Amino acid sequence: MTDPIGAAVAVGAIIARDGRLLLGLRSPYRRRCPGRWDLPGGHVEDGETVVEAARRELMEEIGIIAERIGLLVTLNLLDVGGRPMLLSIMRVAEWRGSPTLRDHEHVALGWFTPDAAAELPDLAVDAYRPVFGRLRLNSF
């Protein structure tokens, strides 16, 4: 989906457990950010809200059902090729299931403290760093 000014619209989800957030290591064969740690998520399809897209992507990628979810922040980024992208980062406060790899988009899942995630040298999006740095996972 694109917004009215032509920017791609995508979502990423912060899932926390025991003071740690979940990241997926992107497959080395992915076009965008290969071999980098990223939030689970993806593009918003036509007719979807960002909440619907986040729920769909979480089921497709890691097999969880997001029950309580809300917008944390929207980042203005550039996608592959320099195209504008709006990335809505969602905070999943409650979910059912156990996060597991379900497709070939990621090759591993890892749980990181917000500080450790913010310091990863191979983080997919540098704009995540201040977001992770401000997280207080136990407050959700």
Q: Judge whether residue 119 has pLDDT over 90.
A: yes
Three-state SS across the chain?
CECCCCCEEEEEEEEEECCEEEEEEECCCCCCCCCCEECCEEECCCCCCHHHHHHHHHHHHHCCEEEEEEEEEEEEEECHHHCEEEEEEEEEEEEECCCCCCCCCEEEEEEECHHHHHCCCCECCCCHHHHHHHCCHHHC
Cα(122)–Cα(125) distance, rounded to whole angstroms? 9
Q: Which residue has the tokens 């992770």?
A: 132
CA angle 37, 128, 136 (to 5 degrees): 105
Lowest-pLDDT range of 34-38, 48-52, 72-76, 111-115: 34-38
Q: Judge whether residue 6 has pLDDT over 60.
A: yes
Q: Judge whether residue 139 has pLDDT over 60.
A: no
- What is the model's pTM? 0.88
